[in-house]
A and B are shown apart, each in its own frame.
Chain A
Amino acid sequence: MKELVIDAKRENLPAVLAFVDEQLEAVECPMLTQTSIDVAVEEVFINIASYAYDTEIGTATVQVTVLQDPLSVEITFIDNGTQYDPLAKEDPDITLPKQKRKKGGLGIFMVKKTMDDVVYEYKYGKNILTIKKKLNEE
């Protein structure tokens, strides 16, 4: 398992993506899979950076674990901020005509649609969100 502990600030997004991509490239993750993982990672990290902490700057911990049989990657995000379950949010209705669509709620919806598994836990005062994705599918 590889771990990155970083200030939960929006401008740290490139560093978080670089860290995750490095692990994905080490296991020759297909490019499209990598893009979908990057989109999910961005969404989760930006959420933490934007909402987890009030005025103080807290940290986000990002852990990447590569699993075998089938080859997959598990990415866990941990913060000590306000308790928040992003999965509790209702999915946006993407069948609505565009004038009626709301712009919010899309991000976590994309995470749920593209990842094979998304699990949220609140333990010991920490938000723990884990996403999992198989790497062998294009």
Chain B
Amino acid sequence: MDIKMKKNGTELTVEVIGRLDSLTAPELEDKLEESYEGIEKLILDLGKLEYISSAGLRVLLGAAQTMEEQSDEGELIVRNLTKPVRDVIELVGFDSAFTIE
């Protein structure tokens, strides 16, 4: 898994590339934890994510909750879902947990 981050004022775009599974999810969680401060809009670009497991979904749900808790304007946007990742997200009903573009 590769993580690329781009910060623009209060907006943070995080591109997650490869596989988000039980082994790699903690790394993404740590990177996000270090970056939340001052962020109002978190964009996860998953256009190059091939695979997500429940461990990855837990990180997404945690990110959505953190964004809402830390500011009234806080939001998580998940962008460019690939078909396998979209299927998994819909399966667990998380398509209602954050904005999908």
User: What residues make up the interface of A, taking CB atoms closer than 8 Å to B?
Assistant: 10-11, 13-14, 31-32, 35-36, 38-39, 42-43, 46, 94-95, 98-99, 101, 103, 106-107, 109-110, 113-114
Contacts and interface: CB of A to CB of B under 8 A. Distances in A.
B2 interface: no
Contacts of A109: 92
Interface in B47-101: 51-55, 57-58, 61-62, 64-65, 68, 83-84, 87-88, 91-94, 96-98
B92 to A, nearest CB: 6
B84 A110 contact: no
Contacts, number: 66
A32 B51 CA distance: 10
Interface residues of B, number: 26
Contacts of B62: 103
Contact of B65 (A42, A95, A98, A107): A98
B68 A99 contact: yes
B53 A43 contact: yes
A35 B88 contact: yes
Given A42-B54, A98-B98, 18 more contacts: A10-B22, A11-B23, A13-B21, A13-B23, A31-B84, A35-B84, A39-B53, A42-B53, A43-B54, A95-B93, A98-B64, A99-B65, A103-B58, A103-B62, A106-B54, A106-B58, A107-B54, A113-B92
